[in-house]
Each structure stands twice: as structure tokens, then as C-alpha cells.
Amino acid sequence: MDVQSLLEGLGPWALLAIAVVVFIESGVLFPFLPGDSLLITAGLAHEQLGLAVPVIALVAFVSAAAGDQVGYLLGDRFGARLFKDDARVLKTSRLRATEAFFERYGGRALVLGRFVPVIRTYVPLAAGSARYPYRRFLPWNLLGGFLWAVGVTVAGSLLGGVPFITDNIEVLLAVIVLVSVLPIVIEQLRKRLRARRAAES
């Protein structure tokens, strides 16, 4: 997907599109949206879009925080009833994996998970399902949303001044995706290593 062409084609609606995508991906149970690439591209192309970087970052932050609120409320209200083993998107296995991630890192998962595709959609739901206290959920949620939305957008705008980056944006976005899923890969490798050592002992 050529995210930059898409945003430029939307014209004055680009900011609304950013808000909607970030909101949905942040907790409305649809994890397969290009949140990372969208924000970094918006930062890179902010001049072409006629948008100020602080405005993009603020809209993304508010949308991310609001999406997490919805995810938490869905988890608190409905919990695992939304998920099925044979579902195409809302698979029980995904919720269980996210709950394990949340149990391991606690409130920090709301910050760490924000930078991991798929995980960031389900972490607020897992927090609600686990009855994680809302007074503790809120500050972690705001911190994670701020670091991700503002950090990724600003990073995109700073990289826009580097000709190599602007000429190889597709490669950059691929690297971003790989780096984003790296924590999941590392965690799975650690699990296999621990399981192998336990079997040997």
C-alpha cells in the first residue's frame, strides 16, 4: 500500500483518516491496519499534506488513547465472550497470548505493547478482561499513547530531511514492521529455549 499517495489523495480529509485508523487499531478489535507506517509517513509528508507535525501528533495521541479506552471497556464488559477458537480475527489464541504478555509486564505492557502490531490492539482488552484497576490503566494508557503517537510522528518528520530516507521509504517501513515484531520473536525464542532446557534437565 502506498500510504503517502493515499494520504495525499485524501486532501483535507487526511487528518480524519489518521484519527480513524489509529482509533480503530488501538482497541476496536481490528489489528491489521497500518498504524506505524501511517504515522511515520504522515510525519515524512506533513508539508505535502499541509499539516503541522504537532497537529498530527496531537490527533494521533488523542485517537490512540480513546481507542484504548474503548478496548478496556469492551474487555471489562464482555471479556472473552467476544472471542472464538475458529474466528478469523477475534481468535481466542490471540487474546490468551496478549493476556500472557499483560500478566508478564503488567502496566508496562500498555506502553510496550503500543509498539507491537496486533498486540497493541488486544492489550487494553486484556487489561479490561483481567479487571486491571482503571486508575492504574489510565496513566499507563496515556503514557503509551503519547510515546507511540508523538514519537513515531516526530521521527517521521525528522527523517524527512534525509534524502536517502525519502528515496527509500518502502524499505524503511518494512524495517519498522520487522523491528516492531522483534519483541514477539525474541519472546518466542526464549520460551522454546526454556522449554528445551527444562526437558533436558
User: What's the pLDDT tens digit per position in 72-98?
Assistant: 998 888 876 767 777 666 677 777 776
Q: What percent of the chain has pLDDT over 90?
A: 15
Per-residue pLDDT tens digits for 29-77: 665 666 777 888 888 888 888 889 999 999 999 999 999 999 999 888 8
Domain range spanning residue 40?
A: 3-200
Q: Is the pLDDT of residue 3 over 80?
A: no
Q: 160 φ, ψ to 5°?
A: -65, -20
d(CA 169, CA 83): 36
Domains held by the chain: number: 1
User: What's this model's pTM, rounded to 2 decimal places?
Assistant: 0.72
The per-residue pLDDT for 92 is: 76
φ, ψ at 50 (rounded to 5°):
70, 30
Segment 135-165, tens digit of pLDDT: 889 999 999 999 989 988 888 888 766 766 6
How many other CB atoms sit within 10 Å of the CB of residue 8? Answer: 15
